[in-house]
């Protein structure tokens, strides 16, 4: 029979082996970038793929954004910029100078694991598509960080169809929807987060979410609205955490914890 000392040593070795096996089988999710939070924070983007450098503002050809978007390898791709200027599709914070402005159209996102950061979108009254950004049915794991969305003729940012899952919008501006429609966004996502963002000067849909979905709304300011957060076509109750809303025209601030819903355009906080 092993001695008492040997039995103790064997127990210690067994505990160490079990602990090491636990580490092997526990894979910690990697955030999309430092500071990513919310349901979309783990979007992988192009991690592990190649790096494509946009070197010109041409509509096609080598070095163009279009070429980078249409030749993505199976391993994924990260697109960075060596130029700045006005283009029509997508960009990033790597651009020098004043960065990248996307105008006169809609950026439609239909893939999974999408990371988009530091862009300006100006749809404009003559732009096509109506929205600055659309998330198509079935989009999974997307994070939008430091975006400026303005001047849409429908909604500045919307999702529709089968609810996309796991979206984060953070540290962004959603403002100045054009014309009488002037909407912030249709948010049909399931497990969506919006935090540290400003929704300002939009008539309605700030945002409009589906009922019975999980929407995390934290540390945002909604300013100069006619209708604030809504859920469903009947404006059903919507849970809102730690938000702040300024009423349209009256500029009166309402503050509260949870349980905000819209009824005839008047908030209850």
pLDDT classification of 261: cutoffs 50, 70, 90: very low
How high is the pLDDT of residue 181?
76
Residue 193 within any structural domain of the chain: yes
Q: Fill in the DSSP letter of residue 238.
A: B
How high is the pLDDT of residue 178?
86
The range of the structural domain enclosing residue 161 comes to: 28-268
pLDDT classification of 108: cutoffs 50, 70, 90: confident
User: Which of 2-11, 88-97, 187-196, 259-268 is predicted least confidently?
Assistant: 259-268
Q: Average pLDDT for residues 215-242, to the nearest whole number?
A: 63
User: Which of 11-15, 231-235, 260-264 is predicted least confidently?
Assistant: 260-264
Structural contact between residues 84 and 107, judged by C-beta atoms closer than 8 angstroms: no
How high is the pLDDT of residue 149?
95
pLDDT classification of 196: cutoffs 50, 70, 90: very high
Residue 15 within any structural domain of the chain: no
CATH number at residue 49: 2.160.20.10
Burial group, residue 44, by CB count within 10 angstroms (0-12, 13-18, 19+): middle
Is the pLDDT at 250 greater than 50, yes or no?
no
Give me the sign of the Cα torsion angle 182, 229, 243, 130. Answer: negative
Structural contact between residues 237 and 259, judged by C-beta atoms closer than 8 angstroms: yes
Q: How many independent structural domains does the chain possess?
A: 1
Is the pLDDT at 120 greater than 80, yes or no?
yes
Residue 104 within any structural domain of the chain: yes
The more confident residue out of 85 and 72 is 72
Beta strands in 40-161 (DSSP E): 50-54, 77-81, 85-87, 100-103, 107-109, 114-122, 133-135, 140-150, 157-159
Residue 92 within any structural domain of the chain: yes
Is the pLDDT at 98 greater than 90, yes or no?
no
pLDDT classification of 170: cutoffs 50, 70, 90: very high
Structural contact between residues 166 and 193, judged by C-beta atoms closer than 8 angstroms: no
Residue 18 within any structural domain of the chain: no
**Active-site residue list:** 205
Residue 64 within any structural domain of the chain: yes
CA-only gyration radius of the chain, Å: 23
How high is the pLDDT of residue 58?
84
The 3-state DSSP class for residue 167 equals strand
Q: Which of 99-108, 190-199, 243-252 has the highest mean pLDDT?
A: 190-199
- Which residue, among 208, 269, 194, has the nearest Cα to 236 in the 3D structure? 208
Residue 3 within any structural domain of the chain: no
Residue 9 within any structural domain of the chain: no
Q: Average pLDDT for residues 109-120, to the nearest whole number?
A: 84
């Amino acid at each position: 029979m092993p001695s008492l000392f040997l039995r103790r040593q064997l127990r210690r070795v067994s505990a160490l082996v079990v602990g090491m096996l636990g580490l092997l089988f526990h894979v910690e999710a990697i955030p999309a970038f430092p500071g990513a939070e919310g349901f979309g924070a783990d979007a992988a983007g192009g991690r592990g793929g190649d790096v494509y450098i946009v070197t010109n503002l041409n509509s096609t050809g080598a070095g163009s954004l279009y070429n980078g978007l249409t030749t993505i390898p199976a391993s994924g791709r990260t697109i960075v910029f060596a130029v700045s200027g006005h283009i029509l599709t997508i960009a990033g914070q790597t651009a020098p100078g004043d960065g990248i402005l996307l105008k006169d159209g809609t950026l439609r996102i239909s893939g999974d694991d999408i990371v988009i950061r530091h862009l300006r979108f100006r749809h404009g009254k003559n732009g096509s598509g109506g929205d600055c950004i659309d998330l198509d049915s079935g989009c999974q794991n997307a994070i939008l960080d430091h975006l400026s969305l303005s001047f849409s003729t429908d909604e500045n940012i919307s999702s529709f169809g089968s609810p996309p899952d796991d979206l984060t919008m953070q540290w962004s501006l959603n403002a100045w929807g054009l014309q009488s429609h002037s909407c912030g966004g249709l948010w049909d996502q399931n497990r969506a987060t919006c935090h540290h963002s400003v929704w300002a000067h939009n008539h309605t849909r700030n945002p409009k979410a589906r009922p019975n979905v999980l929407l995390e709304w934290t540390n945002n300011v909604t300013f100069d609205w006619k209708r604030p957060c809504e859920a469903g076509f009947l404006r059903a109750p919507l849970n809102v955490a730690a938000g702040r809303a300024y009423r349209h025209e009256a500029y009166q601030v309402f503050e509260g914890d949870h349980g905000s819903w819209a009824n005839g355009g008047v908030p209850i906080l």
